[in-house]
């Protein structure tokens, strides 16, 4: 009887910590049960195009702190709808290749899209454990995804830097963070850096209210206003105007979606000059924070543990601060958004942060005297 053989791939957009997960999965298998580890290149594209290579100890040694993924990724390659072949369903060929490689398990590291595909492949018989990845932290079933802490760290550091310019020049400074469907990055970075206004997709903003806060600060002598806005935020009744820098759209050139719009809207309503910065991909590359390296290592090891127990069809997750797992089908095609009564929403408002609207649950504290 041969050695246990496991495949691993990374799908979707770049995310700090991918290499830390790959290393943890591979070392767990290599060192604990002397398994053979095979990496697919460029995510599911490698499964479709039959590109894979063995991962030995030295291949995954020294990659913990590196950004990116040594395996490469692809965020378009869906075996059920292969974009390079007229959107044909090539899933059976993928299963055949998996079979030929005599793999006993597959670990897929990715976001929403990767988990949906993984769910489909599980239904076709491939034994998969998923590892949740998204800098947006909007996957259902897990409190945290690796990469999120790093994205928040970078965004907060950028706002820290903008603060001094805003203060010196009496300006309104806008920082557009990632977060198309959920505002977690903007919320956390906004709290971490003391943004005065935080705009997120979950709360439609009222530009009159945004302008009112800016003016109140102008008059109150604070001289500046910092706005953290998630790319997916939108005005009351408005459409999402996501910047196209992160798009694979036919027109990949428009920079600054909602921050552009917001500048346009605010112009004339307030006295201060307005400046905007769109952080873009800087948030998703580079070395992960210590927090994300630890979480990525824990996730990778837990995925290996699950696979060694032959418990497939699930995604590893953090719930109640414990490592656990949930069925892939519960993850696919869903988004975890910020609840309006989230503890951090209350905390942010308590320290004076505006969400650009008056339409939020009543404040939590009452005077007891």
- Catalytic residue numbers? 136
Stretch that binds a second copy, among 1-9, 81-89, 116-124, 329-337 (CB under 8 A): 1-9
Residue 253 C-beta: closest distance to a second copy, Å? 4
The nearer residue to a second copy, 95 or 294, going by C-beta atoms, is 294
Q: Is residue 326 exposed (0-12), middle (13-18) or buried (19+ Cβ within 10 Å)?
A: middle
**Interaction residues for a second copy, span 164-203 (CB under 8 A):** 164-170, 173, 188-189, 191-194
The nearer residue to a second copy, 128 or 332, going by C-beta atoms, is 128
**Interaction residues for a second copy, span 58-77 (CB under 8 A):** 61-62, 64-69, 72-75
**What span, in angstroms and rounded, lies between the C-alpha atoms of 353 and 363?**
12
Is position 93 an interface residue for a second copy (rule: CB under 8 A)?
no
The nearer residue to a second copy, 80 or 346, going by C-beta atoms, is 346
Tokens 């990778």 -> residue: 300
Q: Which of 114, 95, 101 is nearest to 9 (CA)?
A: 114
Identify the residue among 50, 93, 101, 163 touching a second copy (CB under 8 A): 163
Query: Left, alpha or beta for 340 (phi > 0: left; psi -120 to 50: alpha)?
Result: alpha
Is position 362 an interface residue for a second copy (rule: CB under 8 A)?
no
C-beta of residue 155 within 8 angstroms of C-beta of residue 312: no
C-beta of residue 334 within 8 angstroms of C-beta of residue 62: no
The nearer residue to a second copy, 89 or 263, going by C-beta atoms, is 263
Residue 92 C-beta: closest distance to a second copy, Å? 26
CA-based diameter of the chain, in Å?
Answer: 78
The nearer residue to a second copy, 85 or 311, going by C-beta atoms, is 311
The nearer residue to a second copy, 220 or 237, going by C-beta atoms, is 220
Q: What is the DSSP string of 288-305?
A: PPHHHHHHHHHHHHHHHH
Stretch that binds a second copy, among 79-87, 210-218, 281-289, 326-334 (CB under 8 A): 281-289
Q: Which of helix, strand or coil describes residue 110? A: strand
The nearer residue to a second copy, 93 or 246, going by C-beta atoms, is 246
Residue 96 C-beta: closest distance to a second copy, Å? 22
Is position 293 an interface residue for a second copy (rule: CB under 8 A)?
yes
Residue 124 C-beta: closest distance to a second copy, Å? 21
Per-residue interface string for the shown chain with a second copy, residues 120-159, x marking contact by CB under 8 A: -----------------------x-----x--xxxxxxx-
**Interaction residues for a second copy, span 327-346 (CB under 8 A):** 343-344, 346
C-beta of residue 183 within 8 angstroms of C-beta of residue 197: no
H-run or E-run covering 161: helix 148-169
**Interaction residues for a second copy, span 217-276 (CB under 8 A):** 222-223, 245-246, 248, 252-256, 259-260, 263-264, 267, 273-276
Tokens 């002598």 -> residue: 221
Is position 14 an interface residue for a second copy (rule: CB under 8 A)?
yes
> Long-range contacts made by residues 264-271, C-beta under 8 angstroms, separation at least 24?
265/207, 265/210, 265/235, 266/172, 266/207, 266/210, 266/211, 266/214, 269/207, 269/208, 269/211, 269/214, 269/215, 270/172, 270/211, 270/214, 270/215, 270/218, 271/215, 271/218
C-beta of residue 186 within 8 angstroms of C-beta of residue 179: yes
Is position 351 an interface residue for a second copy (rule: CB under 8 A)?
yes
**What span, in angstroms and rounded, lies between the C-alpha atoms of 159 and 154?**
9
Identify the residue among 290, 340, 341, 361 touching a second copy (CB under 8 A): 290
């Amino acid at each position: 009887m041969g050695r246990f053989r496991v495949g691993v791939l990374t799908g979707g957009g770049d995310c700090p910590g991918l290499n830390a997960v790959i290393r943890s999965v591979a070392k767990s298998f290599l060192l604990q049960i002397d398994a053979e580890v095979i990496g697919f290149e460029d995510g599911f594209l490698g499964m479709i195009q039959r590109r894979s290579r063995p991962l030995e100890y030295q291949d995954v040694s020294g990659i913990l702190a590196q950004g990116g993924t040594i395996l490469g990724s692809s965020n378009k390659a869906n075996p059920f709808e292969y974009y390079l072949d007229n959107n044909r369903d090539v899933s059976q060929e993928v299963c055949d290749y998996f079979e030929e490689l005599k793999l006993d398990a597959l670990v897929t590291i990715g976001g929403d899209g990767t988990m949906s595909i993984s769910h489909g492949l599980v239904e076709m018989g491939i034994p998969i454990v998923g590892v949740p990845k998204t800098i947006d932290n909007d996957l259902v079933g897990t409190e945290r995804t690796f990469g999120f802490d790093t994205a928040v760290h970078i965004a907060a550091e950028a706002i820290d830097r903008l603060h001094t310019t805003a203060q010196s020049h009496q300006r309104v400074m806008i920082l557009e963070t990632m977060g198309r469907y959920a505002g977690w990055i903007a919320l956390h970075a906004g709290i971490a850096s003391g943004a005065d206004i935080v705009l997120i997709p979950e709360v439609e903003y009222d530009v009159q209210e945004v302008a009112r806060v800016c003016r109140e600060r102008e008059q109150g002598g604070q001289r500046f206003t910092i706005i953290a806005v998630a790319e997916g935020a939108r005005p009351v009744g408005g459409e999402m105007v996501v910047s196209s820098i992160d798009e694979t759209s036919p027109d990949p050139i428009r920079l600054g979606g909602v921050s552009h719009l917001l500048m346009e809207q605010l112009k004339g309503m307030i006295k201060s000059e307005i400046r905007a910065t769109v952080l873009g991909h800087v948030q998703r590359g580079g070395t992960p924070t210590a927090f994300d390296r630890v979480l990525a290592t824990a996730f990778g090891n837990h995925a290996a543990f699950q696979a060694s127990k032959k418990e497939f069809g699930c995604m590893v997750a953090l719930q109640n601060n414990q490592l656990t797992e949930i069925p892939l089908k519960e993850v696919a095609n869903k988004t975890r958004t910020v609840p309006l009564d989230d503890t951090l929403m209350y905390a942010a408002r308590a320290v004076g942060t505006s969400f650009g609207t008056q339409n939020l649950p009543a404040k939590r504290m009452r005077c007891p005297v």
